[in-house]
């Protein structure tokens, strides 16, 4: 009998780990649960910055997610070196997060760092999830929509065996 395949481990990363990446983690958790894949896909999120370490997700992000029936959980943490070994795929919310992560990553692990929106088949040339922190409330709804489309595409790629 062959050993069960080990879970695919995904880490979502933004700047503060209180708005975009907890939203992505919560959305992906919900999609994974819908497909009964909780034992196959493990999820976490982190920030490149340390300002909000220990904080709950931003109340505006929680409100936008709650409006779509998704509860955001967890407390913010900063990306650490071990993450590059531990996770199979590290999904950056924007190009600034991507370059910060690639600079932190050991040379052999840089290929694991990708932009989340690369997995949205409908994303045109714009692949950033815009930072909503200092913007209008509608920014959080937009984040949710962009993240949801990308997470659906990401799951489709994993199920098709094309990732990680």
Q: Is 68 a catalytic residue?
A: no
Question: In the complex with ligand 4NP, which residue's Cβ is closer, 18 or 158?
Answer: 18
Q: Is 14 a catalytic residue?
A: yes
Residues forming the site for ligand 4NP (CB under 6 A): 14-20, 51-52, 131, 133
Question: In the complex with ligand 4NP, which residue's Cβ is closer, 16 or 74?
Answer: 16
Least Å distance, CB 52 to ligand 4NP, is 6
Q: Is 58 a catalytic residue?
A: no
Catalytic residue among 19, 20, 58, 120: 20
Catalytic residue among 14, 19, 94, 100: 14
What are the phi and psi torsion angles at 136 (to 5°)? Answer: -75, 165
Least Å distance, CB 144 to ligand 4NP, is 12
Q: Which residues belong to the active site?
A: 14, 20, 131
């Amino acid at each position: 009998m062959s050993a069960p395949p080990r879970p695919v481990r995904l880490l979502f990363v933004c700047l503060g780990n209180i708005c975009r990446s907890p939203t992505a983690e919560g959305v992906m958790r919900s999609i994974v649960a819908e497909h009964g894949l909780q034992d196959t896909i493990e999820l976490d999120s982190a920030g490149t910055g340390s300002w909000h370490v220990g904080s709950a997700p931003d109340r505006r992000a929680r409100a936008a997610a709650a409006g779509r029936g998704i509860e955001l959980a967890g407390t913010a943490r900063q990306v650490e070196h071990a993450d590059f070994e531990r996770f199979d795929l590290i999904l950056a919310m924007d190009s600034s997060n991507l370059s910060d992560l690639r600079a932190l990553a050991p040379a052999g692990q840089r290929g694991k760092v990708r932009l989340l929106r690369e997995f949205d088949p409908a994303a045109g040339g714009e692949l950033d999830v815009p930072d909503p922190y200092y913007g209008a409330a509608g920014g959080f709804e937009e984040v949710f929509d962009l993240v949801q489309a990308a997470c659906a595409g990401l799951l489709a790629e994993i199920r098709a065996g094309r990732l990680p």
